[in-house]
Chain A
Amino acid sequence: MQQNDDHLYTFGLLDEDAKREIRRSLLKAVAIPGHQVPFASRDLPIARGWGTGGLQITLAIITPEDTLKVIDQGDDAGVNAVNLRRLITQTTGVATTVATSEASLIQTRHRIPEEPLRADQILVLQVPMVDPLRWVEPNLERATVMHGEADYGRMWVYMYESVVRAGDLRIASQYPVMVNGRYMMDTTPIPRWDVPRLDMAEALFLFGAGREKRIYAVPPHTSVVPLQFEDYPFRTEYQAGQRCVRCGAENTFLTSHFVAGPADGGQWVTSCSDTNFCDQRLGAGEVQP
């Protein structure tokens, strides 16, 4: 990997024209919350589908003064997070942190940090599927017209059918939401748990889809309402009595994993997917044994 001081690569890897184009698309995305803005999406030395959309946004807006945090599944040490952080720091030299509160710029895959974000923070989400209408209308030309006319009837029918067939709104992640009362938006594969935290938030949320070549945004203080029915309201994954086996938190998103025991034994446990949140609670002595 070349350092940026040998002039082979610019600060932030991408050429200045590419960064400018992305920033223009970002401005448009912020101005029209939830609307998908096309952008050229340059090739990167990272495989498509591995975070190239988020990465392009991060590289386009990062400044030398930024403090960067990169997480995957809520975990700073996830292999993909480590890899993307390596590329960003090697091409920018910016400071990094694992502490959510210390970061000015956070790139994430599949999670929003548990700790509420502030107005001076930006969360960049990596997006695999841009369009919530994909499940009912895979043809982009027709889906674009549907968005233009706010014609979301077929999506409501899809939701209704999932209730009839499965007894629930059968969408686990990338739950569809209405943004600012106008555009239906894919929340990317964040769990339902994270969806309410997009609503009227302090921070700016930027969504980048590299392979699909789209950018969209949820600016601060914007209403984000999940699709739901009066008799089948939106519910998160929260289960009464849930608890992190490490820090004892009872109000976080948990993931299951196997803890090996002596000999061949072991057991399945659940713990906070946001590792920094969990570690901070442990460090601050908030553990409830």
Chain B
Amino acid sequence: MGYVAVRGGTEAVLRAEELAACLRLLGGSSPLQLPQISDQLRHAVSRAMHEGALYAPLLAALAVKQAEGDSIEASFLLRAYRTTLTRVMATLPASGRAMACMRRISASFKDIPGGQLLGPAQDYQIRLLQPLLALEDDDALAQALMRYAALVAAGAPQAGAIGHFPKVAAYLRTEQLLVDPPLETEAEPFDLTRQALAFPCPRSARLQALAQADSSSLMTFAYSSVRGYGDAHPTLAELRYGYLPIQVAHPLTGEAVTIGEIEATECEMVSKAHSVSNSSAPPRFNLGYGFAFGQSEVKVMSMAILDSVMTQARLGSLSGASGPAANEEFVLLHCDGIEASGFTAHYKLPHYVTFEADLRVLDRAREHHEAQEP
């Protein structure tokens, strides 16, 4: 019987998409509304934004819905939308100092100027499934909201509840405990959407690549570095989460104009693997920086650890084994979730031609092997 090669690609692709869409609706549950996603799946929305490298909470909620909760796919949708937008201008450098913090913690000192502000955090939550959450209805929601309103009414209005705080890193600098990464003086930061990454790369390129990287990949690289394949020894100088005002220079007057604020998480890690190779300067702690849209704490901490490790590796000051996480090229070229998932998945594409060529090579290798046998 003759073998008929699979054709009819167009029809098959359309039907496959239809079937996938059908699976989402088949259960007959009521459709997810975007506010439900932005309110109740906050972290999924944050992740789509920082990995998609576009601050757009509503579109991110749409992406999460469309991707059916697949985080890389949601980021991909946003990234694919971003590329259609005109790049208008670069914002002025935004300092985390200007952030209106909802949360601000340091692991370096028990009390810090301005104080620790635990804020919204689930770190200390005991991870037990809450069956009541499964039964949550509109009444339960209304009751909870009333309870929160009562709490707010009962507490005296605290001026510092969403507050501005000095930076712990600023104190460490005052005390000459910190060495900042070498200053770069380009007028504008590197833009990965306009230039290909080449090595050695400026730190702005590194930070941009890390900021839009897949969170899980960054976490894995950072974890390998602190667990044993590296010499990082990080301490959390500060982690802050809140609203950060964004400014641009007025095109005519050049004056700084605030165009809005973004929800963001920022982190500074100091590493005890201090600069010791530079004999002219006294040893100091090294600084790593992390930043992401939304509340994305593990990501910014991973980013800060990697930034610190890469700076040390660049300065040649690592005294122990530096490990794969200190290899800037290795990390930056593999941490982008959209590139990595795209290429990994591309093996689903037809490879009939290359595989045919592989078969021929295998044939020749076998012939060679047989010829060698006595």
Given contact pairs A166-B283, A257-B109, A45 touches B320 in the complex (Cβ within 8 A): no
Contact B126 A165 (CB under 8 A): no
Given contact pairs A2-B128, A45-B128, A172 touches B272 in the complex (Cβ within 8 A): yes
Cβ-neighbour of B321 out of A45, A86, A138 (below 8 A): A138
A170 at the interface (CB under 8 A from B): yes
Cβ-neighbour of B126 out of A83, A131, A134, A257 (below 8 A): A83
- B106 to nearest A CB, angstroms? 10
- B273 to nearest A CB, angstroms? 9
Contact B319 A259 (CB under 8 A): no
B residues in contact with A258, CB < 8 Å:
109, 111-113
Instruction: Give the residues from 272 to 328 in chain B that come closer than 8 angstroms, CB to CB, to chain A.
Output: 272, 274, 276-277, 283, 319-321, 323
CA distance A122 to B183 in the complex (A): 51
Contact A162 B128 (CB under 8 A): no
A residues in contact with B228, CB < 8 Å:
129, 131, 134-135, 138
Given A131-B228, A258-B111, 4 extra CB contacts under 8 A: A44-B127, A47-B123, A79-B118, A158-B320
Contact A162 B111 (CB under 8 A): no
As a 0/1 sequence over residues 30 to 46 of chain A, the CB contacts with chain B under 8 angstroms (1 = contact) are 00000000000000111
Q: What is the predominant secondary structure among interface residues of chain B facing chain A?
A: loop
CA distance A233 to B321 in the complex (A): 25
- B368 to nearest A CB, angstroms? 36
A residues in contact with B319, CB < 8 Å:
161-162, 165-166, 170
Contact B126 A255 (CB under 8 A): no
As a 0/1 sequence over residues 252 to 266 of chain A, the CB contacts with chain B under 8 angstroms (1 = contact) are 000111111000001
CA distance A162 to B233 in the complex (A): 15
Cβ-neighbour of A87 out of B112, B126, B277 (below 8 A): B126
Ranked nearest first, the 8 interchain pairs of A and B with the lowest CB-CB distance are A138-B228, A257-B111, A45-B127, A257-B110, A83-B124, A134-B228, A45-B126, A258-B111
* B residues adjacent to A (C-beta < 8 A): 109-113, 115, 118, 123-124, 126-128, 227-229, 231, 272, 274, 276-277, 283, 319-321, 323
* A residues adjacent to B (C-beta < 8 A): 1-2, 44-47, 50, 73, 75, 79-80, 82-83, 86-87, 129, 131, 134-136, 138, 158, 161-162, 165-166, 170, 172, 255-260, 266
CA distance A138 to B272 in the complex (A): 19
Q: Which residue of A lies closest to B113 (CB)?
A: A258
B residues in contact with A256, CB < 8 Å:
109
In the complex, number of A-B residue pairs with CB atoms less than 8 Å apart: 65
B residues in contact with A170, CB < 8 Å:
319
Given contact pairs A46-B126, A83-B124, A135 touches B321 in the complex (Cβ within 8 A): yes
Given contact pairs A1-B128, A87-B126, A73 touches B320 in the complex (Cβ within 8 A): no
B residues in contact with A1, CB < 8 Å:
126, 128
Q: What is the predominant secondary structure among interface residues of chain A facing chain B?
A: mixed
A residues in contact with B127, CB < 8 Å:
44-47
CA distance A166 to B284 in the complex (A): 11
A–B complex contacts, Cβ < 8 Å, 18 sampled? A46-B127, A73-B110, A80-B124, A83-B126, A129-B227, A134-B227, A136-B321, A138-B323, A161-B319, A162-B319, A165-B276, A165-B319, A166-B283, A170-B319, A255-B109, A258-B112, A259-B111, A260-B113
B residues in contact with A165, CB < 8 Å:
276-277, 319
A residues in contact with B277, CB < 8 Å:
165
B residues in contact with A86, CB < 8 Å:
126
- A127 to nearest B CB, angstroms? 13
A residues in contact with B115, CB < 8 Å:
260
- A137 to nearest B CB, angstroms? 9
Q: Which residue of B lies closest to A170 (CB)?
A: B319
- A146 to nearest B CB, angstroms? 14
A residues in contact with B111, CB < 8 Å:
257-259
Q: Which residue of A lies closest to B112 (CB)?
A: A258
B residues in contact with A46, CB < 8 Å:
126-127
B residues in contact with A131, CB < 8 Å:
228
Contact B229 A138 (CB under 8 A): yes
Q: Which residue of A lies closest to B110 (CB)?
A: A257
CA distance A1 to B112 in the complex (A): 33
CA distance A174 to B225 in the complex (A): 17
CA distance A75 to B111 in the complex (A): 13
Contact A255 B110 (CB under 8 A): yes
A residues in contact with B113, CB < 8 Å:
258, 260, 266
Q: Which residue of B lies closest to A166 (CB)?
A: B276
CA distance A44 to B127 in the complex (A): 8
A residues in contact with B109, CB < 8 Å:
255-258
B residues in contact with A75, CB < 8 Å:
110
Interface centre among B118, B126, B272 (most CB of A within 10 A): B126
CA distance A257 to B227 in the complex (A): 28
B residues in contact with A136, CB < 8 Å:
320-321
